[in-house]
Structure 1
Amino acid sequence: MIKKKYDHINDFLEDGSFKNWCLQNNGTDINFWEFWIANNPEKGALVNKAKDLVLGVSFDAKLVSKEKVAFEWNKLEAKIQSNKKIKKRKVRFLPRFAAASALLIISLSIYFAVGKTKVTHKTNYGEILNIKLLDGSDVTLNSNSTLSYYKDESRKVWLSGEAFFQVDKKVATQAKFWVLTDDLSVEVYGTSFNVNTKKKKTAVFLEEGSIWLKLKNGADKKMIPGNYIAYSAKKDEILEDKNIFNPIIKTSWKDGSLLFENLSLEKAMEKIEESYGFSIVFKEDKTKNILITGAVPITNIDICIKAIEKSVDVTIIKKDNSLIISEK
């Protein structure tokens, strides 16, 4: 059920039975861990820290209540688990606090010379928006992103930022679906994939099906499930080409969280910067290399900051448009 030795916080976080004990989901696991904790009192502090990360972070009620944190994190855990089991998801909206603030700009009165109507969906920092296209495809648009298409041609879209696509396959017509960015275009019939155009490159992760990438330099790349390719037209170079064995790492954001797996704090904070727009300042260089594992919410900056502080034992101060990180 569990390892014999638990010396690091990741040992607990990676154990399903420990999560069941934290969430009080399984009688057998609850009894086992109660017995284990009673017989390993020297691990009490480590257990409590790991439990905090599973349930949410306990902090001053003036900021966010413990009940609110537990509620949101339990909901987050449930979404992540269900996403692993259900490949084809139903149309749904994110938690009210994220969806309610999403900014939708629809340009219905802009006509071009050819008489087409352009539709544009845009999100601000910290916002995530679910979109149902006219062809039946679903798109989840990440924060600080823009998706555009012509009203009568929704199977060709232009993306700036990040989005997850669940493309509806047109069996009768075999109509293609296109995603166009500054670096490349994605050609697909029906599949699930993630596209990110931030950091002056386009990164594509294929969750299900198969797609073709048409790079700006004229080259073609075929992708199969699990492939992750990042390409920069400016550098005319494929920056990454690898397989991802835990797909939720690349797609968990669409359920309101970021999942880190032995990622340096510097790289993790780059993700926070993308989601919220804050500049990241490290007071000590050595804190950049601290490894972080776990999930943090991306629709509530206060809970996000507290979760990271608790996980890697640092202090994060929000000042103006910056997040200042220092040792405790």
Structure 2
Amino acid sequence: MTKRKYDDVNEFLEDESFKNWVLQTNATDINFWEYWIANNPNKKDLVNTAKDLILGISFRKNTVSEEKVALEWQKLQAKIKAKEAKPKRKVILLRKLSIAASILLIVTTGLYFLNQNSKITHKTHYGEILKVKLQDGSDVTLNSNSSLSYYKNESRKVWLSGEAFFKVDKKKATNAKFWVVTQDLSIQVYGTAFNVNTKKKKTDVFLEEGDIWLSLKNGETKKMLPGNYISYSAKENRILEDKNIDNSSLKTSWKDGTLLFEALSLEKAMEKIKESYGYAVVFKDDKAKNTLITGAVPLTNIDICIEAIEKSVDVIIIKKDNSLIISKK
């Protein structure tokens, strides 16, 4: 982010961080610009103009400009008038003109269609959380090392790899469905809040509010009610867990930047740390694995996370290369 006053539209257009905010491609830039815009309401019109230009440029980059089409049309008309005295050549030229116009129309329409149906993907790195606002008004919070994809003109059907929390906007007028697709199942909703995790070669779904239907890969369907947690593996072709969870924060606290543990073994707690930060976990003492941990650790700062775990369960954690080495004090 460069130091500018942002008094001119071009200053926004030249700033890569601003483009990242418009295209929703970098969590740090998104957070910065949301804060900046909230604190600079007098620049709202400039921001909106620059945003429209970036989206417009992105949309039109593969199409033929109207000016170019008009110029070529004028050239062809001039050639036709110059050859009017020769009927046979006029017919041939008109035929060529017709073919050229048809090709231009097909190419332009095709590019427009591809643009309208282009796939949009949001990705996060380890230790990063991204909030995404879909075109239909639904909110998605994407956990670390995850990706969310959907087509530009159909944001009520998304594909998820990793973990995300969904708060789906209910379309009362049309009662339109919202779909989440994973490698194991499809989730059908109308308007509700739920968490989906696909990180362990299975799909875990926790329903916070509303109701949803699961369409499992084996052809079965399953209705979920608030508080219900279901874990399903297409590889094993079975439901691994089906239970109710009273404390929803145990499954959704990550969206607020923390991992919450409640009498969880250190071994299982470190599996969640591994998912969030990407570090391998090595236990030097097997006894430490069964130590129970209760508390919360941050999802976006590995050093503070390590310090909190060390104090909670009386262990030493050494960060070496891409590993976390754990031993008893």
Q: Equivalent residues in 2 for 1:123-142 (5 A)?
A: 123-142=124-143
8 Å contact kept, 1:229–1:239: yes
One-letter code of the match for 2:213? W
Give the Cα–Cα distance (whole angstroms) in 2 for the partners of residues 114 and 213 of structure 1.
Answer: 32
Query: Which residue is equivalent to 2:268?
Result: 267
The 1:323/1:195 distance shift into structure 2, 3 A limit, reads: same
Structure 1 residue ranges, 4+ long, deviating more than 6 angstroms after superposition: 95-98, 106-114
8 Å contact kept, 1:99–1:129: no
How far off its partner does 1:113 sit? 11
> Equivalent residue of 2:253, what SS?
helix
8 Å contact kept, 1:196–1:202: yes
> Equivalent residue of 1:266, what SS?
helix
8 Å contact kept, 1:147–1:160: yes
> Equivalent residue of 1:168, what SS?
coil
The 1:187/1:112 distance shift into structure 2, 3 A limit, reads: farther
Query: Which residue is equivalent to 1:284?
Result: 285
> Equivalent residue of 2:127, what SS?
coil
How far off its partner does 1:112 sit? 9.3
Q: Which is richer in helix?
A: 2
Query: Which residue is equivalent to 2:224?
Result: 223
Query: Which residue is equivalent to 1:304?
Result: 305
CA RMSD of aligned residues (A): 2.4
Give the Cα–Cα distance (whole angstroms) in 2 for the partners of residues 282 and 112 of structure 1.
Answer: 55
> Equivalent residue of 2:305, what SS?
helix
One-letter code of the match for 1:151? K
Larger Rg: 2
Give the Cα–Cα distance (whole angstroms) in 1 for the partners of residues 182 and 147 of structure 2.
Answer: 11
TM-score after normalising by structure 2? 0.67
How far off its partner does 1:237 sit? 1.2
> Equivalent residue of 1:234, what SS?
coil
> Equivalent residue of 2:287, what SS?
helix
Q: Equivalent residues in 2 for 1:158-177 (5 A)?
A: 158-177=159-178
How far off its partner does 1:286 sit? 1.0
Identity %: 74
> Equivalent residue of 2:135, what SS?
coil
How far off its partner does 1:117 sit? 1.1
Q: Equivalent residues in 2 for 1:106-255 (5 A)?
A: 115=114, 116-255=117-256
Give unmatched runs, 5+ long, in structure 1: 1-94, 101-105
One-letter code of the match for 1:292? I
One-letter code of the match for 2:257? G
One-letter code of the match for 2:300? T
How far off its partner does 1:98 sit? 10
> Equivalent residue of 2:191, what SS?
coil
One-letter code of the match for 1:220? T
Q: Equivalent residues in 2 for 1:67-106 (5 A)?
A: 99=31
Q: Equivalent residues in 2 for 1:7-46 (5 A)?
A: none
The 1:142/1:310 distance shift into structure 2, 3 A limit, reads: same
> Equivalent residue of 1:158, what SS?
strand
Provide the aligned length of Structure 1 versus Structure 2.
230
Query: Which residue is equivalent to 1:76?
Result: none
